[in-house]
Amino acid sequence: MVNKEEYRKITSEIGGIRISFLFDESQHADEIKDNGYDNSTQTRLRIHHGYVPEMNIKERAFDSGSTWALYRSGGKYVLQNDSLESGSPPDTLVVLEPDFKSGDIYSRNNEFNQNLFSDCLGYPLNQILMIILLSLGKGVLLHACGIDDGGYGYLFLGNSGHGKSTMARLWFENQATVLNDDRIIVREKDGRFWMYGTPWHGDFKELSLKGLPIRKIFFLRHSEQNSAVPRKGAEAVSMLLTRSFPPLWDKKGMEFTLKFCAELAKKVPCYELGFVPDESVLDFLKD
């Protein structure tokens, strides 16, 4: 049994984005900003177990049709782990203030155990919340594999089946560090673009949450021989966008994401990489 007193606040940092989860039932969400927590925290969320309140949908923002939906109610944003069309009440609600700096998580699960702290939201709300926070001028979440080869940062982008996990395995066997094989956060820092690992892996479980500058970007495709073709301008931006997780529900967020991808493609060399799934591609890239 986990002692509640030991876990009144859990702060998670992914890609430099800090989220604090508050378990003190005596504290209200509207008091969070005044309670002395450090200003580096992006969002502070109070957790409520054992019930989910009914919310009246005032404005739909986005409905995945299956696993999650986002809407507005009472001036706040509401994120739920089910489609609005399912007809069944959701198990989890995240009610966010308009500035996204604070809010509440409601869960029907009333168990208080260690598993709650490894991921207080669960899939897919964990990643949707990160996409929302990144779209506020912070960065983007990419469908990508990130590799740290002795301080040299390679970013391999691809959709399902393009070879991200294969690339992760090959580099790992070659003593490189795999940040993640499926979800990578990219942010701008001191005029350079950095990539960060996330805990949301694909098939490869040897992950790192560290960050480092991106030296080169590769758009993956399987091939009978190793080749790299430079991609620039609008073509590179389009390839980045189609391998990103954009905030489709938010006009300003989409404008930021498009601008961010344009700057990323401008400042970091981009290539379309046709590769053979064996160690020969590593020699090819290092040359």
Break the chain into its structural domains and give their ranges.
4-134, 140-286
pLDDT in tens, 212-252: 999 999 999 999 999 999 999 999 999 999 999 999 999 99
CATH says 140-286 is which class?
Answer: alpha beta
The count of other CB atoms within 10 Å of the CB of residue 254 is: 15
Q: Tokens at residue 173, please?
A: 């066997």
Mean pLDDT value across the chain? 89
The 3-state DSSP class for residue 256 equals helix
Distance in Å from the first CA to the final CA of the chain: 54
pTM: 0.90
Contact between 141 and 184 (Cβ < 8 Å): yes
Type of residue at 64 = S
Q: In the chain, what's the furthest Cα-to-Cα distance?
A: 62
pLDDT in tens, 22-31: 875 544 444 4
Cα(250)–Cα(66) distance, integer angstroms:
20
pLDDT in tens, 107-129: 987 654 444 445 678 889 999 99
What pLDDT is attached to residue 15? Answer: 96
Cα–Cα nearest to 195, from 10, 16, 7, 35: 16
Indicate the angle between helix axes 251-267 and 233-241, nearest 10 degrees: 130
